[in-house]
Homo-oligomer: A and B are copies of this chain.
Amino acid sequence: MPISRRLFFGAILSLFSFLSVAQTNDSINIISEEQRKTATDLMQTALNSDLGFEIVESLTTEIGPRLAGSEAELRSLQWGVKLGKELGFDRVSIEEFTMPFWDRGHLHISMTAPYQQDLYGTALGGAAPSTKEIQAPVVYFRDIHALANVKAGDLKGKIAFVDGDKMVKSQTGAGYGQANIRRQSGYHHAERANAEALMVRSVGSSSHRFPHTGMMRKNKDEWATIPVVAISNPDADHFRRLHRLGKDLAVSLHSESKWKGEVSSGNVILDLIGSEKPEEIVLIGGHIDSWDLGTGAVDDGAGIGITTAAAALISKLPKRPKRTIRVVMFGAEEVGLLGAFAYAEKHKDNLHNHVLATESDFGAQTIWQLVSNVNPQATLVIDEIAKILSPLGIVRGGSNVPGGGPDIIPMARQGVPTIRLNQNGRDYFDLHHTPDDTLDKINPKELAQNVAAYATSIYLIADSEVDFKPENKEQ
């Protein structure tokens, strides 16, 4: 490289360095010494507090499972209101909406050939009932691709079973999306082939004998017209081995799951009103509904406990942060983000005042990463917050990562800036959507780390005056 060009590149690099330092200094200045001190004190307070765990314990014990649209979910909304008032939130309300109610009912399922053996299965969300006991031979498909190749009418009088691979356990839960395809759209193919019913290997990494439920996706705007059941990974392993041995398989099943018409649900809103810019909202939350097999402790009692406790600890500071902190306990998340869409619709004329939003909906193992989707200048503030969170073992991740949590999606699509505090999800898919999602699976110390991360970062964002809005995403 000629010297002149070297000099040129050197000058450019120096300029970048200079700009970078200048920006960093700006961002440091954006967080005052007093705010920094308040934040780190709050972190310690949260680490020593049991409040988050106590909230999850109360929700899972006093209310129990909270199927979207059920009377139990309605009881949970009242519980949320009572909790919000007890904790001293400034404004507490329920925003109601209506929704179609799918009820699981009772399922009987057993293998009847090559011999009799009970299976551990459960209906998938949206599945139709069997009008009578279905007793039929099973056709084995190694994976969803094999089922997708089935010809129309080829499964008449048969039950299809779609195997697949057990989800790999990972910090990010990366394998979930791929595994989910058989759950979400397997029945589209089974119905096309006129199957009597569909069974799928449970999504999830559990090696325990629990089935994994979850919602299916509509097929051309219609729900399933056949029963669809997930069976546990060990039961699917059993089918696979019997199939390899060349055994003929048959299953008997009877499922009562069905749609039961329009019911009421709602979102609980708890506000800490901002001291200087009350109209600007920093939104955090979790979803209060759960699948009905377990008691919804990790999914998502944890998110309710973490975010409500974080806000409640902030409320004990001598002064409210400048902006309003809003905790939303979303209803009916599991059945299609219904509470989230209802919220975005109801507040559509005010989303420009939603400064930032984030949800905790990935259990309560240790948070290890902070990602964001905000504008470049605000990114430097998030960088600085990540540094303040570093004693918790949290590292800075991508600065252009859309998301913020499932219930945040409808508002993020309309330009609301987001961050996400990513929990270690290694054990999450062992428990998620199974009967094993119970309180004992939460480590109170790890949950307290989560509360500390939320309290610290949300305080700093709410007490800031920075605009976080991503560029070119005007509403």
Contacts and interface: CB of A to CB of B under 8 A. Distances in A.
A208 interface: yes
Given A234-B438, A435-B120, A294 B209 contact: yes
A210 interface: yes
What is the count of identical protomers in the complex? 2
Q: Which of A115, A116, A293, A438 has the most CB of B within 10 A?
A: A438
Contacts of A14: none
Nearest to A293: B118
Contacts of A41: none
Nearest to A438: B234
Contact of A237 (B114, B118, B438): B438
Interface stretch (A57-65, A251-259, A345-353, A361-369): A57-65
Given A120-B435, A207-B441, A209-B435, A62 B245 contact: yes
B245 A61 contact: yes
A266 to B, nearest CB: 19
A61 B438 contact: no
Interface residues of A, number: 34
A363 B245 CA distance: 25
A72 B294 CA distance: 32
Contacts of A120: 435
Contacts of A61: 238, 241-242, 245
B210 A64 contact: no
Contacts of A238: 61, 64, 295, 438-439
A427 to B, nearest CB: 12
A440 B207 contact: yes
Contacts of A142: none
A75 interface: yes
A333 interface: no
A117 interface: yes
Interface in A105-135: 114-118, 120
A248 to B, nearest CB: 13
A334 interface: no
Contact of A436 (B65, B208, B241): B208
A95 to B, nearest CB: 24
A165 B460 CA distance: 44
A440 B64 CA distance: 31
Interface string A436-466: 1011110000000000000000000000000
A63 B115 CA distance: 8
